[in-house]
Amino acid sequence: MDLDPEVHRYLFTQPADAASHREAVRQRMANGWPPVGGLWMVEWRDAPGLLGWCGLFPLQDSGLIEIGYRYVRATWGRGVATEAGSAVLDHGFRSMGFDPIVAVVHPENQRSQRVVTKLGLASLGTAFHYQSWLNFYRLDRNAYLANTG
């Protein structure tokens, strides 16, 4: 997944090769990243195999918690990101007590913009994160709980 150029099209880093990427992921996990939140692996309910991940983690240099995700291309357009994102948001608000949860999306990434708006995050214009101007989205805990019961 992480070596697929289309998966990384709107991301800020590109893995050099499989071996160095695997080692970087191992090091990140060994060092306890993320320090708050978590990353959850996503699979089909009835079949094994990694489809991707969805997580909550600190938005670089902001003090905010960001929802993020990455999936293999075979899942795109099939509702996987929205379904997993809904579960992760619910866990973040109800169990972890985060408030707010935000997202940043590359301005050209229409698919990801649709996902975050389906999840209920509101567009607040642009913000500078990860060395780029990105579309910025936010959802407050009270608004989430009012809409979900």
Q: What is the pLDDT of residues 94-147, one digit of tens each?
A: 999 999 999 999 999 999 999 999 999 999 999 999 889 999 999 999 999 999
pLDDT digits (tens, 9 = 90+) for 51-92: 888 999 999 889 999 999 989 888 889 999 999 999 999 999
For 41, list phi and psi in degrees, rounded to 5. -75, 145
Residues 11-42 as b/e (b if ≥16 CB within 10 A, e otherwise) read: eeeebeeeeeeeeeeeeeeeeeeeeebebeeb
| Reported confidence tier of residue 5, pLDDT bands at 50, 70, 90 | low
Q: What is the pLDDT of residue 2?
A: 65
Residue 6 confidence (pLDDT) above 90: no
CATH 3.40.630.30 fits 18-148, yes or no: yes
Between 3 and 114, residue with greater pLDDT: 114
Asked if residue 118 lies in contact with residue 89, where contact means CB atoms within 8 angstroms, the answer is no
d(CA 74, CA 86): 20
